[in-house]
Structure 1
Amino acid sequence: MPAARCLPVLSMAQLSWYWHRLRAMSLAEVVRHAGRFCLRWADAWHQPDWTSVRLGANGGFPWLPDPTQAPPAVRQALQQDAEAILAGRWKAFGHLQLHVHNPPRWQRDYLAGRDVSTTAPAARLSPRALPAGTDIKLIWELSRWYPLVRLAMASYLLGHRTAAHTCVAWLQDWAARNPPFRGWNWTSALEAGLRLIQLSWIDALLSHSHGERDGSGAHGDDAVLSQLRQAILPPHVWFTWRHRSFGSSANNHLLGELAGLIVALSRWPDLAHWAAPLAHVQALWEQEVVAQFAADGGNCEQALNYHLFAWELCWQARAALAAAGRAVSTEVDERLRRAAQFYLQVQVPTDPWDYGDSDTGWVTPLFADDARAVAEWYDWLAGAQASSALAYWWGPTQKRLGLRWPQPPNPPGGWQVLSPSGYGLWREGRWTLRYDFSPLGYLSTAAHGHADALHMSLWLDGMAIVVDPGTGCYLAELGLRTWLASAAAHNGPYSPALATPRRLGPFLWSGHPAPPAIQQVDRRQLRARDARPEAERIRTVQVSADGAVVEVQDVCRLTARHAGPASWTVRWQFAPDTALEQLGPHRFGVQRQGKTLVVEMSPAWTEVCAVSDPAQARTIEPDKPYAGWVSPGFRQTVWAPYLKLVWHGESGGAGAQAGCGGPCALTTRFIALEAA
């Protein structure tokens, strides 16, 4: 087995990141991190006797549906997935095709083609010190065991013996090649928590497969599965509890760690010996639900993919607590209901482009098609029958809990303002608009937030036209990651004079600005004012009375702190496969998949440039190598056209409003045309 570097060698940029990360912590948090580092070293060399507590009977969660009632589409999807997985054709993040060995090489980045397998203590390993181009997310993705869950599901529904045997064999191989607290798969407590959830499902599915029901065990693997429970569960519970997130790191990671513990402890109560009583873990989880989901239901990380991810974690924990006979507070149930409603309000399932960070992650693959996971979750939350897979797998749980999720919002019309999360939603006629005036992110790091204040995303007849640029990756290509999260890549008015927020590296911001103030002028007009020490930006978005036109007016000024000429840029980034046609100096035709509109700019703009291909972008903006690149999915990038609008002026600002000192307002109008 090739050995990875045991002692991480960090570059100056990485050392700088660690310095700034320390500065984002309180003294108490720094001390606690130092203590945890010592614990991680101790765990690698001095482990408890994991066999000292034998696991007793399994609990009720997860409640499984009747296999004879599975919809044909669910069976067909499982048959196809099982054959692909057994043939080594895996998918990462729902879209990346990987060819995986049998058994998989659990510490290999299959996209980069690099194996970094090691049994070095995890305390010595830093995911930020992996070889260039290698991504810890690709390594962790294998060990979230999604394909193993699908194999167990195929065993349960289809009686697929090869799927069952292979699932158990791969778990055996994983346990042998990833000894407790050594290697890359033991560098994250969240990943351990997710494996606890997956193993709970795998155990339930294999224990109730056709072989078990006819008395022969899980296709003859029951004894091996029992040994695997004893080998895998205690160290995972110990590690997840002992190294759970805290302080400025207590975001969705902590929710995932606590959810994993709740699911495991509800199924195997004896595991509390290696962690804490279920009641104590539940109390911590309930605190985090209320802390991480705002009063309007929005997730405080300001990242829509993480909203669904965190909600699913909480839903599984909620169901597991019910299976263990434990009541959940009314406040927590109401917060989760509002979070489901919030997702229905802000997501556009026909063509999703999420705000904030997105690693295209989910908890357990209970949908039929991972490429359509967002749409399936949306349909299930909305009560639609189209999501037959989620309705099938979660049916027994919903029935036992007596829960019904909110129907899709049907507002009376006009702008909806979601506060305190900070979003304006328009869903009337042909337009869907999502206007962002949210805080930067959660806690002192705002780890998964983007500098997207005043950004507006636009859909026409459910098709994305103006998009959020996405995430790209986390650590594999930092330049791309930094650009896609920046204010310059979004369409809020941007000036180089904007000093905040400041990006200090992955998952780390400083200088969090106050969120913009909102004024709902009338049902068709919404205004946000972003006032900072160095600048003021006011954006008003208005929909015409006939519903055909969306007008965006930007009024911007720099304060007296700024010396020199003012310059403001608005970058209208379109979705991939959009075509631009110049109709006049300040007028362009826009077409995408049969949808047509015209974009008009006011004459006050100094420069108006339609950028239609990467070569043109490199010529126009040689200092911005990632201009035009967007990311519809994690580790997926594609170039797309954009309109770059620039206003140059004297010191001061642009805008007609009092105190702005400029000649006129800067407007952009989007005019919907009927299809030819």
Structure 2
Amino acid sequence: MIRQSAYYRLLRQLIDTPPGLLWRKVGRHLKQSVQHTWARLETRLGRAGLSNRAFCRSVTTPDFLAHMRTRRQHHFFIGPAARTEVVATLRAICPQTADAIIAAADQSCDHIFDLLGSGPVHLGASIDWHVDFKTGHRWDPTAFYLDLTSAPFPGGYDIKVPWELSRGQHLVWLGQAYWLTADEKYAQEFVGQITDWIEHNPPRRGVNWVCTMDVAIRAVNWLWSYHFFTESSSLTDKFRLAFFKSLLIHGRHIFNNLEYSETLTNNHYLSNIVGLVYLGLLLPEFKEAEKWRTFGLVELEREMVKQVYPDGVDFEASTAYHRLVTEMFLSTTLLAQLNGHNFSSAYRQRLERMLEFILHLTKPDGTVPLLGDNDNGRLHRLQVWNDSPREWRDFRYLLAVAAPLFDRLDFAQAAGDQWADAIWFWGAQANTWQNQAAAVQLEPHRSAAFPDAGVYILRSDDFYVAVDAGQNGQNNNGGHAHNDVLSFELSALGYNWIIDPGTYVYTADYSLRNQFRATAAHNTVIVDGQEQNRFDKHLLFKMPADAAPRVLTWDSNPAYDLLIAEHYGYNRLPKPVTHRRTFYLDKQNRFCWLQDELLGVGRHQFEGIFRLAGAVQIDPWQTGFIWRQDTSALLLVSCPFRRKIAPDMETFRDWAAPGYGAKTAQSVIRALVTGPAPVVLDWLICPVRAQAQPYPSPDQIQQWQNRVEHILARVEATQPQ
């Protein structure tokens, strides 16, 4: 694809923008330009900081430090009075988590960090906050923040590494370890790292002021961690003054650098709001606190409508970003309600639906499919995971946190053993809710449809299929979407079998970024080697909406689940092709029938891709393959009985990314057909307990195919012509 020039894209954007919206955007950009010019001048003259005298004029309390020493935190989740109860609850129901927190805090004291797939890295006696420690690339710490950028094409280093470190999420582990052990070394390390960060990151200089989202998340984590140390003797008046001055600077920076656009706001802008609400609620002594708080609470309501579909799914076409956005909304909602704010019923209902989506999305093993992008994004990390990769795929802790808020016993039960986060929000109430959930037997999860997002869950006991039949997200900007239309994940018998490969990286490697979001990286069909949605290899966060998927049939009943959907991403070819895919889950006989119809004219090459979970043994079986994990097996069989079309099938090795920055080997099955359209391919996917049940015979498979085709014929007869 020929890359369009930046000038051409800008011209098209101007032509396509309505006049009223255009003038609002021009006005905002002019205002920002003036603000940034003034900020650059102030920074150059050394006036970006905040003197003690100026700080005193910015607070409402005459003797601020004395006030902060004695102030009792009745409006936060944790405080000195709750320490004994919280520690006892954590040790009672999550003893391994307590040990893991202490171990992680000790590593933080030793300046050993494991971020974004780096593995444990020792950063030395003095932390360099401006370096991508995975590659060694360093940003100029004296540069004006607007002059610093991520890696240009083709990549080579990752700006997310210093950003992630400076989010300070590990500081919360220091606070938790302090509560668990009463060891002052954790308070001293907290003071030391914050002091060092402030010294080496003056306002508006360096990489850690570039992204307002990270400034806001840092403020939230500083506030969380501070509340563990309020009674520590290690927090001197000198430290407190520097700490709160920096938080005031953080708040002003967020408010003056909002990641807002008239045409599109996303998780970045939401994080800005969250940071302002946290600062506005927890530091009411700041004269600007009321402005931040009022603005943020109003914008939370607005962004809930803009960023979350009516069915409760985040609009960015990514399950990982749904998790991040849910975490931000949920945490801030709980804090605001604790401080007496009442949200609208519409806001609360949509937030509850966000949790319901997680409830239904969760697989039998407690993880979720990684649809779309995943950058390991979190607001705060209140527990340390013994199984590190699982942190990026297990969202059940959010159900535990939300259960008391919405009085949902099903949330509590679905949370399983993920109660560590909830303890820091609810204290002993978390234990009560966990016990109540364990004492009742609720109905098992059922199949579910989320039509606004285009996500469908076909389920029967431990047989689970998740299908992505949705748009590109972000109002078709596609910033975090992948070419995964009609792709799916499948689990059965307690194992994941067919999975999405994940994301791996963003600007660190443009080629790998594009490889992991390409059609060939997903469990769908490729036509003539083309992408479902075309994208420019230089524009890593944009994917035009060519595919325009449409769901034709969704029928879920006690006997079966049936989903029929199609997309039009290949209609742009000289000889157009429509890909229609049918999923039929038979709940009695426990098989999934997959039918691919490639409707069109002309000769084409069709590739069907099936990406397998990690440690599987693959062997040929009849007209397909069988792969095994322990004593269980899954059959993938091509069924050419009616069509007389048998694809050429092969296996090869490729990469999967269980989390951002980490990749592991993955087995892939490719089925290839070259010939004239239309082409219909039928697949049987059948889980088998290797020792306990026989494999289906060819006659049995034909009987199942007859049943499927009978149902499909009946459905087709009811469709309008």
Per the alignment, in what secondary structure is the counterpart of residue 120 of structure 2?
strand
The reply to whether residue 362 of structure 1 matches residue 378 of structure 2 is yes
User: Residues 120 and 404 (structure 1 numbering): CA distance in 2 closer, same or farther, change over 3 Å?
Assistant: farther
1:483 corresponds to which of 485, 508, 515: 515
In the alignment, which of 600, 605, 625 is matched to residue 567 of structure 1?
605
TM-score (norm. length: structure 1): 0.85
- Whether the 8 Å contact between 2:478 and 2:542 is mirrored in structure 1 is yes
Which residue is 1:515 aligned to? 549
Mapped pair 1:445 → 2:477: yes
State the AA in 2 paired with 1:511: A
Deviations 1:394-434 (A, max 9, x none): 115979xx999999997788742222121111221331100
1:601 maps to amino acid: S
Distance apart, 1:388 and its partner CA = 3.6
Among candidates 546, 556, 566, match of residue 588 of structure 2:
546
- Cα distance in structure 2, aligned partners of 1:226 and 1:135: 33
Q: 1:461 aligns with which of 469, 476, 493?
A: 493
Deviation for aligned residue 1:552: 0.3
Aligned counterpart in structure 1 of residue 663 of structure 2, from 607, 631, 637: 637
Equivalent pair of 1:605/1:666 in contact (CA under 8 Å): yes
SS at match of 2:36: helix
**1: CA distance between counterparts of 2:242 and 2:613?**
47
The answer to whether the aligner puts 1:377 opposite 2:397 as a matched pair is yes
Number of the residue aligned with 2:41: 45
Alpha-carbon distance between aligned partners in 1 of 2:441 and 2:373, rounded to the nearest angstrom: 25
Aligned CA distance change for structure 1 residues 412 and 363 (closer, same or farther; 3 Å): closer
Partner Cα distance (1:368, 1:441) in 2: 31
Output aligned runs, 1:247-646, within 5 Å.
247=261, 248-271=263-286, 273=288, 276-348=291-363, 349-369=365-385, 371=388, 372-373=390-391, 374=394, 377=397, 380=400, 382-383=411-412, 384=415, 386-396=417-427, 415-496=447-528, 501-504=533-536, 505-521=539-555, 523=557, 524=560, 525-531=562-568, 533-534=571-572, 535-558=577-600, 565-584=603-622, 586-603=623-640, 604-605=644-645, 607-613=647-653, 628-646=654-672
* TM-superposed deviation, 1:492: 2.0
Identity among equivalent positions (%) equals 21
Question: Within 2, Cα distance between the matches of 1:636 and 1:278?
Answer: 38
* TM-superposed deviation, 1:555: 0.5
SS at 2:621's partner residue? strand
C-alpha offsets along residues 61-81 of structure 1, whole Å, 9 cap, x if unaligned?
432162223222243222211
- 1-side partners of 2:630 and 2:118: how far apart? 21
Match of 2:253 in 1: 239
Shift of 1:225: 3.4
- Give the letter for the 2:497 counterpart: I
Closer, same or farther: CA 130–155 of 1 in aligned 2, 3 Å: farther
Residue in structure 2 matched with residue 219 of structure 1 by the alignment: 233
**Alpha-carbon distance in 1 for matches of 2:8, 2:152:** 16
Partner of 1:674: 689
What's the TM-score once normalised by structure 2's chain length? 0.80
2:351 is paired with a residue of what secondary structure? helix
Q: Specify whether residues 610 and 409 from structure 1 end up closer, same or farther in structure 2 by C-alpha distance, changes over 3 A only.
A: farther
The reply to whether residue 109 of structure 1 matches residue 132 of structure 2 is yes
What does residue 658 of structure 1 align with?
Answer: none
Q: Quick one: structure 1 residues 429 and 322, their matched pair in 2 at CA, closer, same or farther if it must change by over 3 Å?
A: closer
In the alignment, structure 1 residue 36 sits paired with structure 2 residue 32: yes
C-alpha separation between the residues in 1 aligned to 2:504 and 2:645?
A: 31
CA–CA distance in 1 between the matches of 2:459 and 2:639?
A: 26
C-alpha separation in 2, matches of 1:466 and 1:552: 13
Q: Provide closer, same or farther for how the CA distance between residues 541 and 406 of structure 1 changes in structure 2, counting only shifts above 3 A.
A: farther
Q: Deviations over 1:340-363 (max 9, x none)?
A: 111111133544441110011211
Determine helix, strand or coil for the equivalent of 1:443: helix
Cα distance, 1:386 vs structure 2: 2.1
The one-letter code matched in structure 2 to 1:506 is L
Deviations 1:87-145 (A, max 9, x none): 22212147732222233211111111333342100111111349942101111111010
In 2, the alpha carbon distance for the partners of 1:476 and 1:363 equals 22
Query: Could you give the per-residue CA deviations for residues 133-171 of structure 1, whole angstroms, max 9, x where no partner exists?
Result: 210111111101012221122223321211111111111
Stretch of structure 1 that moved more, 328-337 or 27-36: 27-36
Distance 1:313 1:415, change over 3 A: closer
Letter in 2 for 1:308: R
The CA distance in 2 between the partners of 1:592 and 1:24, in whole Å, is 52
Q: Answer whether contact 2:151 2:157 (CA < 8 A) is retained.
A: no
Deviates more, 1:53-62 or 1:233-242: 53-62
Distance (whole Å) between structure 2 residues aligned to residue 468 and residue 18 of structure 1: 36
Q: Distance in 1 between matches of 2:120 and 2:38?
A: 39
Per the alignment, do residues 518 and 235 of structure 1 end up closer, same or farther by CA in structure 2, a change over 3 Å counting? Answer: farther
Q: Does 2:678 match 1:653?
A: yes
Determine the C-alpha separation between the residues in 1 that align with 2:148 and 2:291.
27
1:188: how far off? 0.6
Q: In 1, are the aligned partners of 2:634 and 2:688 still within 8 Å (CA)? A: yes
Q: In the TM superposition, what whole-angstrom CA distance separates every residue of 1:316-362 from its partner, at most 9, and x where no partner exists?
A: 21122123322111111111111011111113354444111001121
Q: Is the 8 A contact 2:397 2:420 kept in 1?
A: no
How far off its partner does 1:21 sit? 7.7
Q: Deviations over 1:26-71 (max 9, x none)?
A: 4454663464354334223324755231364566443216222322
Q: What is the DSSP-based 3-state SS (H/G/I as helix, E as strand, rest coil) of the residue aligned with 1:640?
A: strand
Instruction: Give me the whole-angstrom Cα distance separating, in 2, the residues matched to 1:596 and 1:280.
Output: 55
Query: After the TM superposition, which of the residue ranges 266-275 and 240-249 deviates more from structure 2?
Result: 266-275
SS at match of 1:108: coil
Structure 2 vs 1, CA of residues 61 and 480 (structure 1 numbering), >3 Å: closer, same or farther? farther
Relative distance call for 1:29 and 1:577 in structure 2 (3 A) is farther
Structure 1's 62 and 491: CA in aligned 2 closer, same or farther, altered over 3 A? same
Matches within 5 A, 1:164-179: 164-179=187-202
2:176 aligns with 153
| Whole-angstrom distance in 1 between the partners of 2:474 and 2:428 | 31
Gaps of 5+ in 2: 43-47, 62-67, 402-410, 692-721
| Cα-Cα RMSD | 3.1
Say if 2:152 and 2:507, in contact at 8 Å, map to a contact too: no
Cα 1:612–1:578 change in 2 (3 A) is farther
Alpha-carbon distance between aligned partners in 2 of 1:282 and 1:126, rounded to the nearest angstrom:
31
* Alpha-carbon separation, structure 1, partners of 2:11 and 2:331: 33
Q: 1:457-512, CA deviations, whole angstroms, 9 ceiling, x for partnerless residues?
A: 10112321111121010111111111211222212222137675222221111235
Structure 1, unmatched stretches of 5+, are 1-11, 213-217, 614-627, 655-664
